[in-house]
Amino acid sequence: MGQTRVTMRALHTTRLGDRGSPVAFCHGLFGQGKNWTQIAKSLADRHRVTLVDMPNHGRSPWTEQFDYAEMADAVAGLIDEPVALVGHSMGGKAAMLAALRHPGRVERLCVVDVAPVSYRGSDEFRGFIDAMLGMDLESIESRADADAALAPAVPDPGVRGFLLQNLRREGDAWRWLPNLELLRSDLDELRSWPETDAVYEGPVLWIAGADSDYVRDEHREAMEARFPRARRVTVKGAGHWVHAAQPAVVAGLLDRFLEA
């Protein structure tokens, strides 16, 4: 945890497409920019797409504390021209704050399955982190070993596979890409929403999973207070990871939103 805080242009990015308007994607907790690759590829013939590894995730630097404002500023620091910014969950909160703090850099905003509110504590994410930290990485020789080691604590194979994307082999040693100790210690901050009086006047598309409770009717007032031009769409057959469950639907929604 003792690394320096992320600087504005230090985030790791992957770029697809060489023409059209710019679009940037911010992933959620335990994710990486590459989680949006399938949808990004569907847009890359008409848009210049940037996939961002958020701080403390993927190949981006670690920070000394979890701070949404710093995260939003780091994302905004990547933007050289007004961009369509897409964010899921944790990345959705960072994208919202980037739009509120740097409205001139965000031409339009798409928020995926999260609201501008603080969420009550849940043991699920803490359990995932504890399970990942509890694995004996020195005894693992293959990804099959890692899968078997994580299975008792994370029985869902889809969730387990998602988490194991964060396990990387370097030489003979395995390591986790996310800053798990920091994320565990700052979980309350991660669940929070920084209060602000700012209002973003640009167009906003809100995509919610029908089987998720992250975006509820009771959140409408908070959403409309900060983002008055928001339109909400609920995707059937999808939980919190809407883009993973229904990639074609999300790609279609984004395509129409970007062309509007």
DSSP secondary structure of 137-166: GGG--SHHHHHHHHTTT---HHHHHHHHTT
pLDDT over 60 at 9, yes or no: no
**Residue 176's closest CA among 216, 207, 131?**
131
pLDDT over 90 at 2, yes or no: no
The torsion angles phi and psi of 84, rounded to 5 degrees, stand at -85, 115
Query: What 3-state DSSP class applies to 10?
Result: coil
Q: Which residue has the higher pLDDT, 3 or 19?
A: 19
71-107: pLDDT as tens digits: 999 999 999 999 999 999 999 999 999 999 999 999 9
115-161: pLDDT as tens digits: 999 998 767 889 999 999 999 999 999 999 999 999 999 999 989 99
- Mean pLDDT estimate for the chain: 93
Fold that domain 13-118+193-259 belongs to in CATH? Rossmann fold (3.40.50)
pLDDT over 80 at 236, yes or no: yes
- Give every CB contact of residue 250 below 8 A, 6+ residues apart in sequence: 39, 112, 207, 235, 242, 243
155-198: pLDDT as tens digits: 999 899 999 999 999 888 999 999 999 999 999 999 999 989 99
Question: 């803490």: which residue's tokens?
Answer: 126
**Residue 167's closest CA among 213, 136, 121?**
136
DSSP state of 89: T
The pLDDT-based confidence of 43 (bands split at 50, 70, 90) is very high
- Give every CB contact of residue 80 below 8 A, 6+ residues apart in sequence: none
**Residue 258's closest CA among 141, 109, 149?**
109
**Domain chopping of the chain, boundaries:** 13-118+193-259, 123-185
If residue 222 lies in a helix (H) or strand (E), which one and from where to where?
helix 220-226
Q: Which amino acid is at 144?
A: A
188-226: pLDDT as tens digits: 999 999 989 999 999 999 999 999 999 999 999 999 999
Q: Which amino acid is at 234?
A: T
